[in-house]
């Protein structure tokens, strides 16, 4: 009986965390996704950090921090060919200690490698779970169409 209670409590807690869902539109083919993206590259997540956001989308000052992931780039198909790329996520940390995240945010893990389709300005790139971004081990179809790509050049963009 005790183990049944433990199982039920565990199930309830896991449903609380996983309870967020979203529906993405159908993904565009690889060649369309490449043409729409600002950058397409593969890389390994080497760090995560919170960075100050000076203003919100309307230009008002804010004390919010955004979670950035830094990737060491392995191959480029589109973009500036830097050795590292910082990607903004939708994770926000507020001064009161609370955090928020949008349901469609792509979940990166330090030490994992990804094929990334990034959007936005070069200095403020982002991606979501609704793009063709995925773990490199699951990107065979994309890699087959993308081809070999280019190695990064010895430079980083601020």
Say if residue 84 is exposed, middle or buried (CB neighbours under 10 Å; 0-12, 13-18, 19+): middle
- CA 69 to chain centroid: 7
Question: Which residues touch 22 (CB under 8 Å, ≥6 apart)?
Answer: 103, 104, 129, 130
| Tens digits of residue pLDDT in 34-83 | 999 999 999 999 999 998 887 667 777 678 899 999 999 999 999 999 99
| Tens digits of residue pLDDT in 11-46 | 333 334 444 567 889 999 999 999 999 999 999 999
**Domains of the chain and CATH, by start:** 27-146 (2.40.50.120)
For 90, half-sphere exposure in the C-beta direction (CA atoms, 13 angstrom radius) is: 11
Gap between the Cα atoms of 72 and 113, Å rounded: 9
pTM reported for the whole predicted model: 0.79
Gap between the Cα atoms of 126 and 120, Å rounded: 6
The two tokens of residue 58 are 């309307």
């Amino acid at each position: 009986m005790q183990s049944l209670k433990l199982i039920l409590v565990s199930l309830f807690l896991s449903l609380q965390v996983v309870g967020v869902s979203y529906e993405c539109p159908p993904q565009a083919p690889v060649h369309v996704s490449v043409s729409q993206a600002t950058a397409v590259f593969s890389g390994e997540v080497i760090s995560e950090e919170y960075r100050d956001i000076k203003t919100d989308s309307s230009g008002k000052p804010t004390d919010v921090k955004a979670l950035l992931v830094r990737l060491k780039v392995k191959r480029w198909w589109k973009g500036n060919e830097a050795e590292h790329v910082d990607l903004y996520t939708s994770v926000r940390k507020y001064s009161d200690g609370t955090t928020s995240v949008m349901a469609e945010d792509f979940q990166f893990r330090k030490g994992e490698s990804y094929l990334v389709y990034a959007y936005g300005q070069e200095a403020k790139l982002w991606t979501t779970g609704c793009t063709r971004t995925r773990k490199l081990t699951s990107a065979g179809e994309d890699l087959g169409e993308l081809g070999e790509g280019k190695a990064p050049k010895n430079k980083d963009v601020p």
